[in-house]
Structure 1
Amino acid sequence: MALILATSNGSSPAPVANPETNRQTANYQPSIWGTAFIVSNTPEDEITLVHEEQQLEDLKEEVRRELMAAASNLSKQLKFIDAVQRLGVAYHFEKDIEEALQNTYDNYHCIDDINDDLYDVALRFRLLRQQGFNISCDIFNRYTDEKGRFKESLINDACGLLGLYEAAHLRVWEEDILDEALAFTTTHLKSMVEHLEYPLAAQVSHALHRPIRKGLERLEARPFMSIYQDEASHSKALLKLAKLDFNLLQSLYKKELSNILRWWKDLDFSSNLPFVRDRVVEGYFWIAIACFEPQYSYARRIQTKLHALLITTDDIFDAYGTLEELELYTEAIGRWDINSIHQLPEYMKPCYQAVLDFFKEIEEMQNTERSYCVHHAKDAMKNLVQAFLVEAKWFHGKYIPTIEEYMRDALVSSGATVFAIISFIVMGEIATKEVFDWVQQNPKIVRALSTVMRLMNDMATHKFEQESGHIASSIECYMKQHGLSEQQAYEEFHKQLENAWKDINEECLRPTAVPLLLLSRLLNFARQQMWCTRARKMHSHILEK
């Protein structure tokens, strides 16, 4: 249960004791994909690609003209920007959107053409907060009564409630009005959703399931296309651009995944390490939905490889290795010396070799002046494996730690820091030495990210894992230490999750400690965990049925 960045088809199976070696084994389901994604493009495909890329450029210019034309009407402009972002094509217009929102922020107190329309006011607030502008939530005071409660008259404005609901998810600490707004809108949207008409009903239903702030742009783009095309005022050029862009990126992803699968096949872990999960396809999907822009092809390749190697390491610790073997592996990682491979059991050698080769590949891609970033990554990897060993000792010793002990280790074993550092490395020169020094200090947003990842995972899987004989999760640790029921533990962790999201939101407001582009990667890791947890729950329900 150590690594929770891993994407899996459901929870881990129960470890089965092997009496001959006193080791645990697990029977993971094999990959369902086979060689389906190992493909090659034909010359005809390349010709089609060139034509579609030119068509994309033409559509981009048409959409850019529409965006500029909307500048004369703030409400129209903000709605257009919102559509561009939710359709997943904002990366084509980053400069245009930044300039438009900067102008909106600069003239924030002079703007009067939005008036009191709740949806427009909430949309302006959300778009500015999403862009990192620290706009005050006091703007919503006009919608409250003398007791500070939201006016009951608002319940007749479904669009306004939806806008306020989405805006409230950008809240930070000490914003009581947004806490109240979230509770108020959630209650009333749930009660009215069945009585609304399409497409508003679909938007409300989706938002209650996954609000914009916690959704992944690329994953949300496809369902939003279906809603957007049914809006009477939609832009035909924008919709066409979104669909073409989506399909072009899908073609790119298939090509990238094919190359990664060839690398995985060459490792031959299915023969050398038959007990580990083969989740490369799922891992690539997990990476691509967060780092989807075409210019980050190298980033997707590296992070998918990292994901696969960490799953392999995790399975060695969770599902096969004896405690003595795991201690040897941890020591070898600590030394980071290929000669240490001779001290390892035969089955561990391919993994150790692959890990060192992976980091060498990253190192060779950096110039001499950036060698420090790989040093940080290696340190994070050493800490991660050490955290895996701590959990293995707890399991073998049948020890239930305090919640404080558990979380100290779990925030490392989640893999968040390793992924953060690697994701920064592959973003290029924007990640300076100061950035890596910052992330190595375990800043607030990294701690919050780790909390989201760990608690979401534990709440989704702990029942299954306890029935299967896994290490105690945070749920059991908290219940035992405080003498609480399972439901009470869940309620407490839901509060901690909401607090973690406030920390994430706060760290993404300007001025930021590091460039917002880098912080957006950490934000997307938190969003990924939200999605993965829901997917895991759905899979569990299917298995139960």
Structure 2
Amino acid sequence: MASHDAITTATAAPAAAVPEVAPVFHPTVWGDFFINYNPEPLQMSEERMTERSNQLKEKIIGLFPCSTIVEQLYLVDTLQHLSVDQHFHEQIDSTLRSTHAGEFNSSSLHDVALRFRILRQQGFWVSPDVFSKFKDEDGAFHVNVTNDPRGLLSLYNAAHLFIHGETELEESISFARRHLESMEGRLEYPLAEQVRRALHLPLPRTLKRVEALHYMSEYKQELMHNSSILEFAKLDFNLLQRLHLKELKALSRWWKNLYREVGLNYSRDRVVECYFWAYTTYYEKEYTHARMILAKIIAIIIMTDDTYDVRATLVECKQLNEAIQRWEENATSLLPEYLQKFYLKLMSTFKEFEDELKPDEKYRVAFSTKAFQISSNNYLQEAEWFHQNHKPRFNDQVKVSSVCSGGPWVCVGLLVGMSDTATKEALEWALGCTDAVRACAEVTRFMNDLASFKRGKNKNDVASSVECYISEHGVASEVAIAKIGSLIEDAWKTTNQARFELPELLLPAVQRVANITISMPFMYDDKTDAFTFSSRLEGTIKRLFVNPIDF
């Protein structure tokens, strides 16, 4: 998750002050904004908003039994698009189980692709053979399909839920993209906007809350729009925004005290962005506790990564790793003074996590501690490579740097505060760093490396996956970048496949891991690290957390 891109390099301090010249990262764009921010009163009280929301919710629930299968699919898609589907979990689950088990004979490409996408996203297996009816004997799509922009868009989005070996879906993506691009300039709003967004980033890889902001303004233009659903979505967004603001205020205060107390001013000051990353995993009201724990874990990842990368000498890296592996207070004696406070604060923060959990949940923190220790071992390996000026083989580099991305630790950490979802089996699965967790780590690593490669190598960067591939295979950068791109696509296939191959008990954990993976194309859009260069996130963060939705 962490990136090493620095903005400037500090002038060298006297020899006695610091052992290494440290890059200086761009200062936070937020300062104390969320600590001091008091939002304007909303148009109605939160109590009245909640009361109205409950009335509308009952009205929407009543839509499910009165609808045809296609209408139910449209309803589910709308609720998901507007990011309010969490309120209708039972109804949606019942609808999708029934739809999956029953016959579906629609001749509409849009409807068939919509069903395919929604079911696959929720972990129900659907064969790509459902698209055969739209093809001729040679496997080519019928000509009339090329004049159906809505169907093509639905196909394009659905096909991105492909798994390994589904070449027909990969061909469908190319086919749909080619024809959507050719008609893009002739489409009308809102379809034109939806096509534009999908061609940039397909719907299954789009941040749900960001898409909801777009869709709220587009939904009223849809032929089958329902004013009660739109009103409910707006009320729900504004109510949740007030909760998220309270969390951001508390987290910003925690971070300000920690940053000042520990004195690691060489590290990135990005607590708002850490919260945003946790929010992409779960934004729902019931996950306040999990969201706050995960945001703190991401902040710790950033501090630890920056310590290994830009501040500590190799000797100090080894000392810090030894202390982390021992995980006991008396290990502070191993550390230089500037790391002693950091180490003690790490331990106390993990203890706070434990204190906040119920008695039968406290064991989860041990999984997070173990994930931290695994990360630290890999940070040390990267530091040794850097200080020895060693360029590892590509596969060795990826194995280590994927862990150093922070992805595997985040996949464990996101479960710590997640109530009943975080079973021991789920934690063991996440700690094992297989399938979807490994894919998350690889997408994070590769997209980060592509962003770093585009910017240019920084003074303290270990050789990236791109550089190692170029060096090992003797190819041009364009070839290496294309290879990394294909590996990212392979990782997406693995993420999709995990939804079907793993036990249903693990599906809630898999879906949250997938959410973290989905955040990466947003964070590294256009091969730019928006976390480190956080001004790129400023507008999105304001829309999500500061500006309420107008009625």
The one of 20, 24, 27 aligned to 1:27: 24
The one of 391, 397, 411 aligned to 1:400: 391
5+ residue gaps, structure 1: none
Matched residue, 2:232: 241
Structure 1's 179 and 460: CA in aligned 2 closer, same or farther, altered over 3 A?
A: same
Task: Give 1:66 deviation, angstroms.
Answer: 2.4
Q: Does 1:226 align with 2:217?
A: yes
Q: Normalising by the residue count of structure 2, what TM-score does the alignment of the two structures yield?
A: 0.91
The one of 63, 71, 78 aligned to 2:73: 78
Task: Give 1:13 deviation, angstroms.
Answer: 2.8
Answer yes or no: is the 8 Å Cα contact 2:447–2:527 preserved in 1.
Answer: no
Structure 1 SS opposite 2:391: coil
Matched residue, 2:503: 512
Q: Does 1:57 align with 2:51?
A: no
Measure, in 1, the Cα distance between the counterparts of 2:140 and 2:23.
54
Measure, in 1, the Cα distance between the counterparts of 2:41 and 2:19.
57
Answer yes or no: is the 8 Å Cα contact 2:314–2:383 preserved in 1.
Answer: yes
Structure 1's 135 and 450: CA in aligned 2 closer, same or farther, altered over 3 A?
A: same
- Following superposition of structure 1 onto structure 2, how do residues 145-294 of structure 1 map, counting pairs within 5 Å? 145-269=136-260, 272-294=263-285
Structure 1's 214 and 432: CA in aligned 2 closer, same or farther, altered over 3 A?
A: same
Answer yes or no: is the 8 Å Cα contact 2:290–2:415 preserved in 1.
Answer: no
Measure, in 2, the Cα distance between the counterparts of 1:415 and 1:131.
26
The one of 86, 91, 98 aligned to 2:86: 91
Structure 1's 33 and 371: CA in aligned 2 closer, same or farther, altered over 3 A?
A: closer
The one of 63, 66, 75 aligned to 1:66: 63
Q: Does 1:102 align with 2:97?
A: yes
CA distances 1:259-309 after superposition (whole Å, capped 9, x unpaired): 111111222438712211110011111211321001000111111111111
Task: Give 1:146 deviation, angstroms.
Answer: 1.9
Matched residue, 1:296: 287
Structure 1 SS opposite 2:21: strand
Matched residue, 1:135: 126
Structure 2 SS opposite 1:289: helix
Structure 2 SS opposite 1:155: helix
Task: Give 1:467 deviation, angstroms.
Answer: 5.3
CA distances 1:452-497 after superposition (whole Å, capped 9, x unpaired): 1111111122232415552211000000000111110111111111
Matched residue, 2:547: none
Structure 1's 222 and 389: CA in aligned 2 closer, same or farther, altered over 3 A?
A: same
CA distances 1:157-205 after superposition (whole Å, capped 9, x unpaired): 1111011101101111222221111111111111211121111111100
The one of 312, 318, 321 aligned to 2:312: 321
Matched residue, 2:33: 36
Measure, in 1, the Cα distance between the counterparts of 2:534 and 2:120.
36
CA distances 1:3-38 after superposition (whole Å, capped 9, x unpaired): x256x9xx3235557472551311112212122111
Task: Give 1:44 deviation, angstroms.
Answer: 7.4
Answer yes or no: is the 8 Å Cα contact 2:280–2:516 preserved in 1.
Answer: no
Task: Give 1:234 deviation, angstroms.
Answer: 0.8
Structure 1 SS opposite 2:524: helix
Measure, in 1, the Cα distance between the counterparts of 2:46 and 2:341.
39
Matched residue, 2:469: 478
Measure, in 2, the Cα distance between the counterparts of 1:174 and 1:508.
16
Measure, in 1, the Cα distance between the counterparts of 2:82 and 2:519.
18
Measure, in 1, the Cα distance between the counterparts of 2:352 and 2:458.
41
Answer yes or no: is the 8 Å Cα contact 1:24–1:321 preserved in 2.
Answer: no
Measure, in 1, the Cα distance between the counterparts of 2:372 and 2:337.
21
Structure 1's 344 and 467: CA in aligned 2 closer, same or farther, altered over 3 A?
A: closer
The one of 113, 117, 122 aligned to 1:126: 117
Task: Give 1:371 deviation, angstroms.
Answer: 4.6
Q: Normalising by the residue count of structure 1, what TM-score does the alignment of the two structures yield?
A: 0.92
Measure, in 1, the Cα distance between the counterparts of 2:525 and 2:117.
25
CA distances 1:94-121 after superposition (whole Å, capped 9, x unpaired): 10011011111111x3x33x2x111111
Task: Give 1:445 deviation, angstroms.
Answer: 1.3
Structure 2 SS opposite 1:32: coil
Measure, in 2, the Cα distance between the counterparts of 1:18 and 1:129.
55
Structure 2 SS opposite 1:442: coil
Structure 1's 510 and 67: CA in aligned 2 closer, same or farther, altered over 3 A?
A: farther
Matched residue, 1:523: 514
Q: What is the alpha-carbon root mean square deviation over aligned residues?
A: 2.4
Matched residue, 1:375: 366
Structure 1's 83 and 354: CA in aligned 2 closer, same or farther, altered over 3 A?
A: same
Answer yes or no: is the 8 Å Cα contact 1:475–1:489 preserved in 2.
Answer: yes
Structure 1's 537 and 438: CA in aligned 2 closer, same or farther, altered over 3 A?
A: closer
Answer yes or no: is the 8 Å Cα contact 2:163–2:496 preserved in 1.
Answer: yes
Matched residue, 1:412: 403
- Following superposition of structure 1 onto structure 2, how do residues 458-469 of structure 1 map, counting pairs within 5 Å? 458-466=449-457, 468=459
User: Identical aligned pairs, as a percentage?
Assistant: 35
Answer yes or no: is the 8 Å Cα contact 1:14–1:468 preserved in 2.
Answer: no
Structure 2 SS opposite 1:67: coil
> Counterpart amino acid of 1:479?
I
Answer yes or no: is the 8 Å Cα contact 1:134–1:510 preserved in 2.
Answer: no
Answer yes or no: is the 8 Å Cα contact 2:305–2:379 preserved in 1.
Answer: yes
* Equivalenced residues, count: 531
Answer yes or no: is the 8 Å Cα contact 1:14–1:469 preserved in 2.
Answer: no
CA distances 1:137-161 after superposition (whole Å, capped 9, x unpaired): 1011112222212223311111110
Task: Give 1:370 deviation, angstroms.
Answer: 4.2
Structure 2 SS opposite 1:241: helix
Measure, in 1, the Cα distance between the counterparts of 2:445 and 2:376.
16
Answer yes or no: is the 8 Å Cα contact 1:219–1:289 preserved in 2.
Answer: no
> Counterpart amino acid of 1:533?
Y
Answer yes or no: is the 8 Å Cα contact 2:113–2:154 preserved in 1.
Answer: yes
CA distances 1:478-530 after superposition (whole Å, capped 9, x unpaired): 00000111110111111111111111101112663643211111001101111
Matched residue, 2:544: none
Measure, in 2, the Cα distance between the counterparts of 1:496 and 1:231.
37
Matched residue, 1:390: 381
Measure, in 1, the Cα distance between the counterparts of 2:500 and 2:227.
33
